[in-house]
């Protein structure tokens, strides 16, 4: 199972909107940058056949199923030990929005050691704008909230397109059309 499939399975377990949860989890995994077996989130939740990967008690999981179960137990206190390690991370993933939870999310992620990811979130990182996660047509059809998911995905892509700098696009067009003087003038948008 690759990291994307792992993130999708975790999102499915919690019924989180994939267009938000998958990029969030993938970026978390990227920041963990671990070689722990079947454990891209560098979880410390012990499983029956897991072994310790490092001195921080990060586990090597024997199976992919164990990796998913460990993530569920870590992210949902009702399912295992009753300790709520990530209540605000979970809330953000449920709501598909970081918003006003940003300081609490940063604190929770810093507490458990993923400083690079916490720093990215603190700096304004957001899965809706800073990650290219494309929803496949099969996923849209398969998910019960497919219409909502598709509408969110379309809105996200439209917002990203609107944020493109039109002056830069116009300059590219001017270069393409051979109008180098217009393309080089920073005070004038080509075509105006």
**pLDDT value of position 88:** 93
Asked whether the CA dihedral 44, 48, 50, 51 is positive or negative, the reply is positive
Q: What's the CA gap between 170 and 3, in Å, rounded?
A: 38
Q: How far apart are the first and last CA of the chain?
A: 52
Q: Are residues 11 and 76 in the same domain?
A: yes
Tally of structural domains, the chain? 2
Last residue of a domain, one of 96, 116, 133: 133
**pLDDT value of position 165:** 52
Residues of the chain with pLDDT under 50: 133-137, 139-141, 164, 189-190
Q: What's the CA gap between 28 and 152, in Å, rounded?
A: 22
Q: What's the CA gap between 100 and 105, in Å, rounded?
A: 10
Helical ranges in 135-191 per DSSP H:
137-142, 146-162, 166-176, 180-184
Q: Are residues 139 and 128 in the same domain?
A: no
Q: Are residues 79 and 166 in the same domain?
A: no
Q: Are residues 75 and 128 in the same domain?
A: yes
* Partner residues linked to 51 by β-bridges: 60
Containing structural domain, residue 175: 135-192
Q: What's the alpha-carbon Rg for the chain, to the nearest Å?
A: 21
What is the Cα 141 distance to its own chain's centre?
22
Q: Model-level pTM greater than 0.85? A: no
Q: Are residues 63 and 106 in the same domain?
A: yes
Q: Are residues 125 and 143 in the same domain?
A: no
Where are the extended beta strands (E) located within 32-77?
51-52, 59-60
**pLDDT value of position 50:** 96
**pLDDT value of position 190:** 46
- Here the tokens at position 58 are 């990060």
Q: What's the CA gap between 81 and 47, in Å, rounded?
A: 13
Q: Are residues 72 and 124 in the same domain?
A: yes
Q: Are residues 10 and 47 in the same domain?
A: yes
Q: Are residues 129 and 39 in the same domain?
A: yes
């Amino acid at each position: 199972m690759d990291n994307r499939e792992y993130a999708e399975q975790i999102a499915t377990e919690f019924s989180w909107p994939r267009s938000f949860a998958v990029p969030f989890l993938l970026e978390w995994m990227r920041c963990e940058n671990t070689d722990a077996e079947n454990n891209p989130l560098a979880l410390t939740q012990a499983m029956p056949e897991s072994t310790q990967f490092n001195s921080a008690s990060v586990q090597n999981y024997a199976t992919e199923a164990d990796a998913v179960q460990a993530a569920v137990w870590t992210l949902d206190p009702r399912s295992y030990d009753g300790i709520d390690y990530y209540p605000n991370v979970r809330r953000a993933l449920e709501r598909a929005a970081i918003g006003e939870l940003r300081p609490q999310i940063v604190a929770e992620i810093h507490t458990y050691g993923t400083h690079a990811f916490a720093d990215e979130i603190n700096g304004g990182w957001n899965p809706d704008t800073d990650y290219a996660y494309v929803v496949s047509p099969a996923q849209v059809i398969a998910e019960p909230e497919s219409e909502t998911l598709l509408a969110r995905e379309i809105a996200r892509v439209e917002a990203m397109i609107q944020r493109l700098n039109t002056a830069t696009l116009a300059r590219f067009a001017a270069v393409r059309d051979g109008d180098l003087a217009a393309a080089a003038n920073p005070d004038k948008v080509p075509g105006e």
